[in-house]
Structure 1
Amino acid sequence: MSARSMSGAGITDAAPSVVTGSLIRASDVDEAAGRWPQYEAGLRWLDDFVTQPHPELGRPGAVCPRLAPALHARAVWLATVDVPAYTADQAVLAGRLLMQLFNDLARQSDRADTTLLGFFPDLPADRAADFIDGGHRLLRNEFAAHGLMLGEFHQASTVGSVHNRALPVMRSPEPMFAVRTMTPHDLLFADQPDTPPAERLAYLLHFDRHVSARLSSAARTQLYARIAAARTASRTGASS
């Protein structure tokens, strides 16, 4: 029985690892054609959906307005991660590994443009939601504390656009985590459905620390009002 097939017992010393040779720039994928089919599928999805406008998005512009400039700057990196078990705990370890790798890569180019996509090609489709979404829930504020955003993508994702919750913008053909720096735009993601008030408050405080200096005075006023509301909700246990 492989370590990956075990439920968790006996693998406490095992940790995720980046597959040797898998770290490449998105712009160099053609040079490794056929070796990393997950990259080819993922990049087709980025080209056909993520970097394009969508009639159901609820706003003008691309689904992700940051990605095309990052691709143009050759600042998008791809890596394949091997995990010993498909559990949320292992997803957390994988996310932290990708955070460390992102920080190393960001020293080589503009940190604001750098994006890292970590692929999990061996992750079964019926385990993807628990692994990717479960890991994201546990890691979201940990990444925010470092001024980073963690995106969660898989084939069965139900995460919708901020402007149209019915459009599943995180539904990708390959399961992956995406790591990038936090931007002023990310204030939109503070109020995700079902986010507990204490977690919302923590996210807003991290956002304030890392991003508020780049906001207009009006946006900072709005941010501080949202922090005050989240702090009150956290004390009272209200949902909003």
Structure 2
Amino acid sequence: MLDKVERPSVGTPLLTMDEARLRDPDNGALATLRGWVESYLMRGHDELGRTGAVCPFTKQAAKLDLVRLAICEAGPDGEEDAFKVIRKGFADLEAIPCKPSMRHFRTVIVGFPNCGSPQGIDMLQRVQRRHKFYSLARFRMIGFMHATNDAPGLWNPKFRPLRAPLPVLAIRHLVEQDAPFAARHPLLLAPYLLRFPIAGPKRLLAYMRGGG
């Protein structure tokens, strides 16, 4: 039986994909979040620029039942509440039960349905920035997706892979396949090479040579 995680102060408890499917009505924020994960992240896209799912990592994590979803009700004025939920998310990530060899697939995805305004987006960007060094020091990644995110795709610069129907902050492990991100973000490069001292340089070289 899966361990139960303490309820966040301003949102739903962390739920498996199956629990989320049973809990939320079809038009609820949790259903929107789950639907986006299943119909977008876990599937291919014509504009992606490569074959496979938009996020192969999430697809595999879901197969292993290592994805946890939650909704945080904080609005644009609730930065400290949002910060606490995300900070706790790092501990929640470690609490997801799994085989030791599968730990790197653990993922926590938190939706913020009340932060779709420019003010809400700005607040969540601050929350993400406040966790930048905290996450890197722990070899973790924290991503921010929202409806107007203009970050270009790695394989097709015209594609916008980080768009979501509601603002989302996601926490996961840094993995060997993150070489393209490490190559593009100097702050991530040192933790990546420290975490993967042998395979990491090979991955980076292959990416820079265009081998993916």
TM class, shorter-length: 0.7 to 0.9
Contact 1:182 1:211 in 2 (8 A): no
2:25 is aligned with 1:40: no
| Count of paired positions | 198
State the secondary structure of the residue aligned to 2:190.
helix
* Residue pair 2:146, 2:165 contacting (<8 A) in 1 also: yes
Provide closer, same or farther for how the CA distance between residues 20 and 58 of structure 1 changes in structure 2, counting only shifts above 3 A.
closer
Identity of aligned residues (%): 20
Question: What is residue 53 of structure 1 aligned with on the other side?
Answer: 44
Distance verdict in 2 for CA 1:61–1:124, change over 3 Å: closer
In structure 1, C-alpha distance between the alignment counterparts of 2:32 and 2:200, rounded to whole Å: 39
Q: 1:162 aligns with which of 154, 163, 167?
A: 154
In our comparison, the structure showing a higher alpha carbon Rg is 1
> Are 2:147 and 1:152 aligned?
no
Q: Structure 1 residues 84 and 44, CA, compared in 2 at 3 Å: closer, same or farther?
A: closer
Question: What is the CA deviation profile of residues 177-222 of structure 1, one whole-angstrom value per residue up to 9, with x for unaligned ones?
Answer: 1111111121211244xx6xxxx1x321111222335x177347x4
User: What letter is aligned with 2:195?
Assistant: H
Shift of 1:54: 1.6
In the TM superposition, residue 91 of structure 1 has moved relative to its aligned partner by 5.1
What secondary structure does 1:151 align onto? Answer: strand
Gap runs ≥5 in structure 1 = 1-16, 226-240
Is structure 2 residue 176 aligned with structure 1 residue 176?
no
CA distance in 1, matches of 2:123, 2:18: 28
User: For residues 218 and 21 of structure 1, what CA distance do their matches in structure 2 show?
Assistant: 41
The answer to whether 1:67 aligns with 2:52 is no
**5+ residue gaps in structure 2?**
1-7
How far is the alpha carbon of 1:146 from its aligned partner?
0.5
Q: Normalization by structure 1: what TM-score?
A: 0.70
In angstroms, what is the RMSD of aligned CA positions? 2.9
CA deviations on 1:44-86 (whole Å, 9 max, x unpaired) are 2222221122222122211101111211111111122344754
Cα drift, residue 100 of structure 1: 2.0
1:205 corresponds to 2:197: no
8 A Cα contact 2:43 2:53, kept in partner:
yes
